[in-house]
Structure 1
Amino acid sequence: MKIKIVLTILISLSLVGCATTLTQQAMNVRDAVANTVSNCKFIGTVSGTSGWGNLAASVGIKSAKNQARNKAAQLGANRIVWTSIQGGYSPYVSGNAYECK
């Protein structure tokens, strides 16, 4: 029984460790909704994917969002409006990146 608990913890930690991490700049890219970016400059469309799906879908979606957020930050954006979030076996997200003052 103790072995199962230890293995579960180790597997969980390894999954989190493999997720895409945010860059320092990407930490400033915030989620937004369409009506809050009407006075912002559209920068471009960004997307992200992850190999962590199925049972680890929440880790996979977070990793894919982090990847897209990193791309948005590289473009100079500070807001992102998610247009698609798909879980499953191969999580995928896409969104529109904006620069808001």
Structure 2
Amino acid sequence: MKTFYSMITAVAFLSACSTELTNQAVSVRQISLAGAENCSFLGPVSGSEFFGLTVAGDAQSALNKVRNSVAEIGGNAFVLTQTVSDADGTVSHADAYSCK
């Protein structure tokens, strides 16, 4: 029974690790490279998440970290340049832009 409670605690702890969007990041959108032509390049950003409950959850959390990073540097859009996912987690790289 003690093992059961330990597992429940571990699952609750791991599920709480996903990254939520900040208020500023809610409006950050993913665009295509062609869509970035009339935007100002701000720099590269990245986000990663490991050992979540699902690969999809890790991928979403990594993208939320990208959006949060874009918002932190004053951007409102990003072009995803690379995403690598496996059973352990996800790493996403992107270029941040400020678009009108």
Match in the other structure for 1:98: 97
TM value normalised by structure 2: 0.81
User: RMSD in angstroms over aligned alpha carbons?
Assistant: 2.2
On the 8 A contact 1:52/1:59 being kept in 2, the answer is: no
Aligned residues: 91
Deviation, structure 1 residue 84: 0.6
Deviation per CA, 1:10-34, whole angstroms, max 9, x where unpaired? x59x62x431000000011001000
Shift of 1:62: 0.5
More strand by share: 2
SS of the equivalent of 2:94 reads strand
Letter in 2 for 1:51: F
Moved beyond 4 Å, runs of 4+: none
Q: Taking every aligned residue pair, what percent have the same amino acid on both sides?
A: 35
Name stretches of at least 5 consecutive residues in structure 2 with no aligned partner.
1-10
**Paired letter, 2:96:** A
TM-score normalised per structure 1: 0.80
Return the letter of the residue paired with 1:19: S
Name the structure 1 match of 2:35.
Answer: 36
Aligned partner of 2:5 in structure 1 is none
In 2, Cα distance between equivalents of 1:30 and 1:52: 26
CA deviations on 1:21-78 (whole Å, 9 max, x unpaired) are 000000110010000110100011000010135x611000100111111011000010
Structure 1 residue 86, shift from structure 2 partner: 1.1
